[in-house]
Amino acid sequence: MKYAAALIALFAWVGVTVGAPLSTCSNARATAFVVAVATSDLRSARQGGQHVFAYTPEETEATLSSAIRDWLTKGDRRGMRLALADQQTIFAFHWAALQMPGTHSALLLSIVMGVRKTSTTG
């Protein structure tokens, strides 16, 4: 129970910051990383595999990529069809990628893409 207040405060903070535009100079690699993770997850969901996020039936890789880019670079969430909890996770991925030096985010991107290719071919 003693951590309940801290968790509530954290979720409230994340809920408020999720709606705020990050900056017009968002790190392109961090955004590309998030788009790669989300579209890989969407492909897995459409193929009946394991996935993290819940997608609407009409969501496509193009609409998802565009919505994420618009949100993370312009603060425009109108195209986002993901639930708020999923948006918070996307934001957390983006924030974490921004904290990493460029080589680390590129490595993570290659790992995500490699895992996706491995899971579809093996």
What pLDDT, in 10s, does the model give residues 1-50?
Answer: 444 444 454 444 444 444 444 443 447 888 998 999 999 999 999 999 99
Q: Is residue 3 part of a domain?
A: no
Q: Is residue 122 part of a domain?
A: no
User: What's the Cα-to-Cα distance from 27 to each of 24, 31, 112, rounded to whole Å?
Assistant: 9, 6, 18
In this structure, what token pair is assigned to residue 54?
């819940």
Give pTM, 2 decimals: 0.65
Q: Is residue 9 part of a domain?
A: no
Beta carbons of 75 and 91 less than 8 angstroms apart: no
Q: Is residue 11 part of a domain?
A: no
Q: State which residues form the domain around 79.
A: 17-117
The residue type found at 105 is: S
